Amino acid sequence: MNDQLYTMLRTFGKVRLSEPLSKHTTFKIGGPADYFLVVEDSSKRIDLLKWLDSEAVDYVMLGGGSNMLVRDEGYRGVAIVTKDETYDIKGTTVQTGAGVVTVKLANETVKAGLTGFEWGVGVPGTIGGAVRGNAGAMGREMKDSVKEVEAYIDGDVVRLSNQECGFGYRHSIFKENKGVILRVWLELEKGDAKAGMAQALGVLQFRNKTQPKGFASTGCIFKNVDFESSKTQLLTHFDEQDEKIQQFLRVGKISAGWLVEQAGLKGEKQGKAQVSEVHGNFIVNLGGAAAIDVLTLIEKIKTAVYNTFDIELEEEIQVVG
Ligand SMILES: Cc1cc2nc3c(=O)[nH]c(=O)nc-3n(C[C@H](O)[C@H](O)[C@H](O)COP(=O)(O)OP(=O)(O)OC[C@H]3O[C@@H](n4cnc5c(N)ncnc54)[C@H](O)[C@@H]3O)c2cc1C
């Protein structure tokens, strides 16, 4: 333990040493973080980040831990949870701390009679994590609603417009510049609370039918594949008029889960990790899975899909450690 680091971190929040990150990820996998810091007072965040940067201490932000796989060796730095859970809805504008739970905020927008964020009721994790990864579902994504983002980047607190966030498919500029998202402004539309609730319920019912239940996971492991750039490979195996191919053409993406299924890997096991029987893009923790099991399975899948279709799958999840 570095005594000076420990003492300093304690001035910013509650510190735990060698905290297993398996306790803080939806996958329930991951070795210990040397330092685990919970910052309750969000006004201390900037000073903390500036100090860590000035001391060249490695840190990683933890939201809901629902889009990450932490290696078994854990993380040699500071894992930071910030408890900024305040939000405010005025007219059609929603101002929210990065630590607010996405499901909760989506529910609140529906209750407030706003429309545009109903899909968020099914996405685990926090708004910070959702903006960084440009999370999306049901044909919509964060990019459609984000108006502005306040972030800490390279020692400065800056306010970025939607355009400046560089959103792309499961991508934002924060993945490149390692910025920490602090606050977010969403712009929604006036809707009808009753219709919104029905829509949100539909979202949950759809997810219940299509996603594995009762197992820890970290959602979709791989990004869906751009249709245009991989259609030639796909069409050497399938007829263009095939209903599934037409569906991919319409949305511009080839479902990664479908590719995994076609490559024959649904249900494949490695240790206590398994490719879900329900959804080919989910790996589930059958209980006590190690990160190495998941990483091995990921490599197996990528090899099988490449060998079958000549298509490279790319991870959507963040590997930490
Ligand atoms: C059952 C299940 C279903 C899912 N369904 C979907 C879905 O439909 N659509 C979808 O897009 N995703 C889905 N996911 C993945 C996940 O819920 C989203 O990616 C989510 O937005 C991640 O948020 P988080 O707070 O959990 O991020 P975390 O997993 O905690 O972090 C993810 C990354 O963001 C970084 N990060 C976290 N907070 C901040 C911050 N404030 N500033 C900067 N960086 C930060 C972390 O360091 C990490 O690199 C699903 C996951 C599960 C388990």
Dump the DSSP string for 179-200. Answer: PEEEEEEEE-EE--HHHHHHHH
What integer pLDDT is reported at residue 321 of this predicted model?
95
Specify the pLDDT at position 164: 98
Phi, psi of 171 (to 5 degrees): -145, 150
Give the mean pLDDT of 52-60: 96
List the residue whose alpha carbon is closest to atom 36 of ligand 1: 129
Place of tokens 């040493």: 17
Tell the residue nearest (CA) to atom 50 of ligand 1: 219
What span, in angstroms and rounded, lies between the C-alpha atoms of 17 and 284?
A: 28
State which of 62, 67, 149 you would mutate to test the pocket of ligand 1, scoring each by most atoms of that ligand within 8 A of its C-beta. 67
Ligand 1 centre and the CA of 243: distance in Å?
31
Per-residue pLDDT for 150 more than 80? yes
Give pLDDT, residue 29.
98
Catalytic residue numbers, as ranges: 170, 220, 316
Q: Tokens for 165, please give them.
A: 């966030």
What local confidence, expressed as pLDDT, does residue 230 receive? 95
The Å distance, Cα 80 to ligand 1 centre, comes to 15
Residues paired with 82 in a beta bridge: 39
**Alpha carbon of 230 to ligand 1 centroid (Å):** 27
Q: Could you read off the pLDDT of 60-88 as tens digits, one per residue?
A: 999 999 999 999 999 999 999 998 889 99
- The ligand 1 site (C-beta within 6 Å) comprises 26, 60-68, 98, 122-126, 128-130, 132-133, 135-137, 174, 180-181, 211, 217-219, 318
**Candidate of 66, 75, 182, 317 to mutate for ligand 1, largest count of ligand atoms within 8 Å of Cβ:** 66
At residue 42 the predicted structure's pLDDT band, cuts being 50, 70 and 90, is confident
- Stated pTM of the model: 0.96
Closest CA to ligand 1's atom 52: 219
Q: What residues contact residue 263 under an 8 Å CB cut-off, 6+ apart? A: 301, 304, 305, 307, 308, 309
pLDDT value at residue 303: 98
Separation of CA 314 and ligand 1 centre (Å): 16
Q: Report yes or no: 147 and 162 within 8 Å, Cβ to Cβ.
A: yes
Q: How far is the C-alpha of 127 from the C-alpha of 106, rounded, in Å?
A: 10
pLDDT at 300 over 90: yes
User: Would the pLDDT of 1 be above 80?
Assistant: no
For residue 161, what pLDDT is reported? 98
Q: What is the pLDDT of residue 32?
A: 98
- The pLDDT tens digits for 245-259 are 999 999 999 999 999
Q: For residues 270-299, give the mean pLDDT.
A: 97
Place of tokens 């007829």: 239
Nearest CA to ligand 1 atom 43: 180
**pLDDT score of 153:** 96
Measured in Å, residue 143 CA sits from the centre of ligand 1 at 15
Mean pLDDT along residues 193-214: 93
Rg (CA), the chain: 20
Q: Are 78 and 57 in contact (CB under 8 A)?
A: yes
- Would you say 303 and 296 are in contact if contact means Cβ atoms under 8 Å apart? no
Highest mean pLDDT among 13-22, 34-43, 228-237: 13-22
Predicted confidence at residue 199, as pLDDT, reads: 94
Q: Which domains does the chain have, with CATH numbers?
A: 3-82 (3.30.43.10), 87-195 (3.30.465.10), 214-320 (3.90.78.10)
Residue nearest to atom 2 of ligand 1 (CA): 219
Centroid of ligand 1 to alpha carbon of 318 (angstroms) = 9
Q: Which amino acid is located at 105 in the chain? A: L
Quote the CA–CA distance of 4 and 207 in Å, as a whole number.
Answer: 47
**Mean pLDDT value across the chain:** 96
CA dihedral 202, 27, 309, 250 (to 10 degrees): 20
Determine contact, residues 69/291, Cβ cutoff 8 Å: yes
- What DSSP string describes 212-270? --SSEEEEESBPPEEHHHHHHHHHTTS-TTSHHHHHHHHHTEE-HHHHHHHTT-TT-EE
Residue-level pLDDT at 285? 98
The helix/strand/coil state of 319 is strand
Distance from C-alpha of 57 to C-alpha of 10, rounded to nearest angstrom: 15
Number of H helices, E strands in the chain: 10, 21
